Structure formats: structure tokens, C-alpha cells
Amino acid sequence: MTTLTEATGTSAARETPARRRRRVDRLPYLLLLPCLAVIAVLLLWPLGQVVMMSFYKLDSVRQLRGDREWPWVGLANYAQILGDPFFRTVLRNTVLFAVANVALTMILGTLVGLLLNRLGRKMATFVASCVMLAWATPALTGTIVWKWIFDDTSGLVTWLFNKLPDGLSTTLFGRSDWTGYGWFNDPLLFFAILTLVVVWHSFPFIAVSVLAGLKSVPSELQEAARVDGAGPWRVFWSVTFPMLRPVFGILVVLSTIWDFKVFTQQFVLAGGTQDRPTFMLSIYSYAEAFSPPPKYGLGSAIAVILTLILLVVTGVYVRMVLRQEDES
Amino acid sequence: MNRWKRLAPVTAIVASAAMVLAGCGGSGDDEKAADNSKLTVWMMGEGGDAQNKFLDSVEAEFKKKHPETDVVVQYIPWLEAPKKFQAALAGGEGPDVTELGNTETQGWAAQEALADLSGKFNGWAEGKDILPDLVKNAQLDGKQYGVPWYAGVRSIFYRTDWFAEAGVKPPTNWDELVAAAKAVQAKKPGTYGIALPGNSELPFYSFLWSAGAEIATKQGDTWKSGYNTPEAQRAVKFWTDLVTVNKVAPPAAAGWNEIDARTQFSTGKAAMAFAGCWQGAAMKKDNPDIEKVWATFPIPGPDGKPAPAFAGGSDIALWKDSKRQDLAWDYMTVLLSKQKDKEFASSLGFFPVYKDLVSGGDYASDKVMSGCATAMQNTKLTPLTPKWVEVSRTKTVTQAMNSSVIKGQKTVEKATADAATEMESILNAK
């Protein structure tokens, strides 16, 4: 790296400012190349393969090995998926789940971020460490623990509900004995628990990012607003939020991407790919492609559809954010 | 020039990455052709001392004929096997011989993972004595793709101490089954009468078959599901009523698989559970004391006769990509020989696959094996078509049908009609 800077420096000394700028402008792209090469090998190449596979009828591993022909079927895989009424259920599940989770994650994350900003140093460190622990827990292990918490016979939640006074429990829920209650039986309840797990996993990142943003906002602005008689609600929406708009923009985009492709938590909570009424796009794609008998073409087509939806959603949102920035 | 120099490391990285990728694909076919120093065998499950000792004795026997070959045994967990097979098939580097669940043999044969053994099997004298149902289950389009290794059937494990306290005997028909479950549950508050695996299909088929229904039958070229019949509806109603009407199993049972359910039994939370006799070892791992208070009885039919049971078990197959087909077959004939089969099956709580061994054993006097031995006399199979695995494993048609009734989402009539339609559309798809 040192030789590189030296080389640029010595040649730059002899050049006019305009030429020098052009020279320097090329450097960032060169530095990006290694990264691009890795992305190309690990991401772009497989992505291209998935798109290609979605146009073929692939239902045998022998085809993947090249021992058998790949019959071209054009858009037949897409037609089959889009024409299947089950796809509408899956799409509805995915979209509703993502909307609910992005909203809840953002709200909870922002609130915790604001709290961390107000707390004293020691308390803030303590709360931040606790919150980060949730984020540091791997999705797989974290979800297994949640599954135990909701175990139908010896789970913590079952135990807590059993501790409720019988009369109260019966009035509220119509039952007093919760042992053996199927927490994951009803799709709505299943999604509620899944939301809890996913929000628990993802809000710490939002909280810390919002905190970082808040630290960069001069506190004088908020104080001035408060002196002028603005309540906390008004201060947030009129001062803090506009200042942090780019931060929120990127956080919403990231959360949307994460929540659209939730897989691990659902796979563990549902105990595999058996619970079809609660399918979302990513697990649907996986189940079609890899459950026997494999249908790699069909699974690829679902994955492409998921990718397209994500591109559209994030594209629209990024444009919205950019336009707002131009205006302000 | 300067620029190319800067690019050099990048080019090197890309090139080496490309070489790594290429390396994965290219396996030296020629080198392997004559290499008989190693035979790779995949076994399912976690193994254990008993199985290791047994396989060592098989290897010793095999080495008498092939002293230059080492047998390498690898254990694959049951649930990981499909992924492992798929990866092996895609990469071209698989085992030479593998064990596989007998419900999966047809599916992997259809994926061209397994070698056609028809010629070898027909020329093997001992093979003629293997139970014909099991042999047929390892066939696809009339060709033999696997050889049965051991067999197992499910029966009902029950708590002898709790049954004695409640004053009930092992039930012999459906009404007695409910009555016994209720009686024990009343005597032992906080436990379940029967741990129902609502999200499993194999124990349910015993009820379906004993009610007189079939899963699906082939009429000419079309499969016709038997779920849309009064007999099947009767079975579904009985199965789901255990939760919804008789309340001898909890609502959570809708999501239980066989392992969830039998764990309720082994940890002392249920009086009865469906399990294969070979699963006794796993239950003892949960709770070593359970052995003192358990026994089995065959799953009863509605009218006092034991219900037919699904003939589960394992097959041994020869991997199609193996470069050592004849050597592998020699190993298989040692492993599968009548003598070795008897040794192995009895050490694990399974049944051997040979007709004369099953009927001749002293299983009737064993408190765990006796229930299974009775069931073993009347076994049935799931529909013989490679498409069955999609009904059974991917779309889980039967499990979804029963669960939806237990969860109160569908009536018995609607659930059976929907399941019949879905099953027929899968089995008859072109």
C-alpha cells in the first residue's frame, strides 16, 4: 500500500491539478476490485446460476452434475408458481410479516436508542451491553431457547400462564390449564411468536445505530426546541427525526431486506418444513428446491421472485429517501 | 504498466479462486479405477458400541476374502441423510455402500443415486428367504435397488405400574384404548393418557388400515386415494377425537412428531406412546428407569384384532457412482447374511428380515418385543411409487389432514376430501 501512495504522490507533483484529480479518482475503483472479485465469485455467479436455473426443468441431481440434459421450459416455472393459489398465501404471509416486523423493530429500536442517549454513562453501558447480548446471540441458538420457553409441557410461558389465578385465566382466555397447550398450532399465534423472536434479534442493531446518529446531532438544537416549549414528541418529530432521516432510511431498507428473508427462526420454530400454512417465500423456495423429490428449477424461480420483490421495495424506498434529501 | 502491476494480486486471487472451484469438480476418475484399498460404508444414526462391535465382526469376515481392503464406516444422522445424499450425488463423491430408510429407497432410486441390483440379488441364494413385502418395497419399475437389512414395526408402549394402579388391562380394541387412557389420566392428574404424534403419519396408518381403508390404490394408470371413504373418515375421526373429544392427549399434540411424543412417555408425562421397538434404547437414554415399568401391546383395531402395521426398517444399497461395485456387493452379502442379520437385529431391538428368523425367534416372551412381534405378522406398505415421498415428506398430506382437524381448522369430511384431492394430484402428475 505504501508504494502505491508514494507512486501517486510523486507523479501528482508533476501534474496539473485537473489531471491529478482524474488520476486520484480512479484509485477508489481499483481498491474496490478485490472486493468485487470476491462478491463476483461468491454472490454474482451463484445469483446468475439461480436465474438461469429458473428457466429449466431441473428435478434430478444428475442434471446438476451435467450427466443429463437441462430441458428449457421458458417461463413455465414462473407460471406454475404464480398460478398456484398457495403462492398467494405465501406472499401474503411474507408481506404482512415483513411490514409488522420492520415497524415493530424500528419503533422499539428507536425508543431504546433514545433511552440510551438520555441515560448516564454507567447505566447506558449496562443497558447497551444487555441489548447487544440479544444481537450477539446466533439466530439458531437464540431461537432454540425461545422454542423451549414456549414448550407445551415444561416451557416458561406455559408455567407462567399456569400460575395465573384460575378465575382470571378463564375469564381472559377461556382456559385455566395451559399444560399441553399448542402454542404453535394457530398460524396467527405462530406468527406472533415468530415476530417476538425476530424483533428481539434485530432491534439492538437499530437501537445502537440510532444512538450513533443521535450522538452526532448537536444537543443544543434539542435544548433550544425544549426552551421554546416543545414537548418530547414534538422535539423528536421536528428536530431529531429530520436530522436522522438518512440513518432511518438505511435502517428501514436493511430491516426490510432482513425481514423479507427470515428463514432460520421460522425453520426452527416450525420444526422444519412441515407447517405449510405458515410458509413465507424463503422457506417455500427451500422446501420446493430441496425436499425430496427436488425441484431445483421451481425453487430457483421462487428465489428469483423474492429477489425481485426485494429489489423493487428497496429501490422505491431509496429513491424516496434521495428525493426527500434533495428537497431538504 | 504500472496499473497492471497493481492488478496483479487481484488477478492472482481470482485465478486461485477459479482453480479452487475447478478442483471441486475434477475428480481423478482414472486414479480411482484400480484402488481397492478402501471401501466406504455409510450407516444411519449415531452408532454405538454394540453396532461398532458388530460391524467390526462383519469387516473381519469380509477381509477373509479381501484382505487388501479396509472398510471405513461413517455414521450419518438420520435427519441429515437426505442433504448428505444430495451433496454426494451432486459432487460425485459418495460412499460405496449405504444404509437408508426403507421409505426412501424408491426416491433415491428415481434420483439415480443407487445401482440396479436385480442381477446380483437374483443370483444370491439367501436373498430368497427375505420377507417379500420388504423386498418389493426396495424396487422401482421392477428393478431391485436395495436389500432389506432389518425391519421394525410400531406398537404401543405403556406404563405397567400406572395401568395396574388404574386397574386396566392392555386394550384390544378402540373403545378399550380410550377407556384405558381416560382411566389412567384420571388416576394420574397432570399426565396424558396417550402421547399422540399428531404430526406423524406412520402410526396413524395402522388405524386407517384397521378401519378398512387404503391410503391409495392404483387403478389402471391412475392412483385413487382412499381418504374419501367412510372407513378413512372413521379412522381420522378416532385419531383426532383422542384430542378434541376424549381429551386424552393435549392440543399441542397436533404439532408433535414421533420423537416429541415418545419423549412425553419416557419422561413420565404420558401413560402410552407409539414407538418402534428399536426406539427403546433412545427412551432409556431419556430416562434409564423407564425400563422397569414399560411393556408393549400391538396397536389395536376397532374390533379386537391387532391393526396392520407399517413395515419400517432399513435397506442396504449400492451407490451407483461407486467404482467398486463387485467388492461392495461382496461386503453386502456378508453384512446381510442370515447369520449376521440375526446377530445385529436382536442386539438393537429390530427384527431380522428373514421369514424363518422372524417366526422362529423367542420374541413372544420378551416384554418389549412381544407387542411388535404380533404386529410383525401383519404388515403393510405405503403406496409403491417414487412420487409417494412428495406426499409423505414434502407436502405432508396425511399429517396436515390430521393436524387441521385437531386444530379445529377443518371438519373430518373437509379435511379428508382435501387430502384425497391433493394426494391424487401429486401421484397422478405427469
pLDDT digits (tens, 9 = 90+) for B235-249: 999 999 999 999 999
Domain boundaries, chain B: 37-152+312-365, 154-309+387-427
User: Are B37-152+312-365 and B154-309+387-427 equal in CATH topology?
Assistant: yes
Kind of pairing, strands B351-352 and B147-152?
Answer: antiparallel
Which of B2, B3, B6 should one mutate to test binding to chain A, selecting the residue with the greatest count of A CBs within 10 A?
B6
In angstroms, the CA B97 to CA B112 distance is: 15
Residue A271: the pLDDT is 83
Q: Does B255 touch chain A (CB under 8 A)?
A: yes
Chain B residues lying within 8 Å of A159, measured CB to CB: none
Kindly tell me the number of DSSP H helices and DSSP E strands found in chain B: 20, 15
Q: How confident is the model at residue A54 (pLDDT cuts 50, 70, 90)?
A: very high
Task: Say whether pLDDT at A295 is over 70.
Answer: yes
Residue A14: the pLDDT is 53
In angstroms, the CA A65 to CA B213 distance is: 42
> Bridge partners of B97?
B41, B318
In angstroms, the CA B10 to CA B390 distance is: 46
Q: Does B190 touch chain A (CB under 8 A)?
A: yes
Q: Is the ipTM of this complex over 0.85?
A: no
Highest mean pLDDT among A61-75, A103-117, B348-362: A103-117
Which of A152, A189, A278 should one mutate to test binding to chain B, selecting the residue with the greatest count of B CBs within 10 A?
A152
Mean pLDDT in residue range A248-260: 89
Are residues B269 and A287, on separate chains, in Cβ contact within 8 Å? no
Residue B26: the pLDDT is 38
Q: Which residues contact B140 (CB under 8 A, 6 or more apart)?
A: B105, B106, B109, B110, B386
In angstroms, the CA A257 to CA A310 distance is: 6
Residue A115: the pLDDT is 93
Greater confidence, A264 or A319?
A264
> Bridge partners of B152?
B312
- Residue B332 and residue B147 in contact, taking contact as beta carbons nearer than 8 Å: yes
| Residue located via cell numbers 405427469 | B430
Angle made by CA atoms A195, A200, A204, in degrees to the nearest 5: 135
CATH number, span B37-152+312-365: 3.40.190.10
**Which 375-404 residues of chain B touch chain A by CB within 8 A?**
386-387, 389-390, 393-396, 399-400, 403
Mean pLDDT in residue range A64-88: 89
Residue A325: the pLDDT is 67
Are residues B9 and A182, on separate chains, in Cβ contact within 8 Å? no
Q: Does A152 touch chain B (CB under 8 A)?
A: yes
Alpha-carbon distances of A154 from B265, B267, B354, rounded to whole Å: 14, 11, 43
Are residues B251 and A181, on separate chains, in Cβ contact within 8 Å? yes
Q: How confident is the model at residue A282 (pLDDT cuts 50, 70, 90)?
A: very high
Global pTM reads 0.80
**CA-based nearest residue in chain B for residue A277:** B400
Residue B360: the pLDDT is 67
Are residues A41 and B9, on separate chains, in Cβ contact within 8 Å? no
In angstroms, the CA B195 to CA B372 distance is: 18
| Class level of CATH domain B154-309+387-427 | alpha beta
Residue A283: the pLDDT is 93
In angstroms, the CA B354 to CA B50 distance is: 21
Residue B282: the pLDDT is 83
Are residues A64 and B110, on separate chains, in Cβ contact within 8 Å? no
From the number of C-beta atoms within 10 Å of its C-beta (0-12, 13-18, 19+), residue A299 rates as buried
CATH 3.80.10.10 fits A77-327, yes or no: no
Domain boundaries, chain A: 77-327
> Bridge partners of B312?
B152
In angstroms, the CA B206 to CA B375 distance is: 10
CB atoms within 10 A of CB B324: 23
Residue B293: the pLDDT is 93
- Segment-wise mean pLDDT, segments of 10 residues, chain B, 430 residues: 43 40 39 72 85 92 93 88 88 91 88 93 92 89 93 92 95 96 93 93 95 94 94 97 95 89 92 89 87 92 92 92 93 93 81 81 75 84 86 88 92 95 91
Cell numbers found for residue B107: 426416491
Q: Which residues contact A142 (CB under 8 A, 6 or more apart)?
A: A134, A197, A200, A201
Task: Say whether pLDDT at A11 is over 50.
Answer: no
Average pLDDT, chain A: 86
**CA-based nearest residue in chain A for residue B84:** A290
Residue B16: the pLDDT is 41
Residue A242: the pLDDT is 87
Comparing CB atoms, the residue among B14, B112, B269 nearest residue A62 is B112
DSSP string covering A57-111, please?
A: ----HHHHHTSS---B-TTHHHHHHHH-HHHHHHHHHHHHHHHHHHHHHHHHHHH
Chain A residues lying within 8 Å of B259, measured CB to CB: none
Q: How confident is the model at residue A16 (pLDDT cuts 50, 70, 90)?
A: low
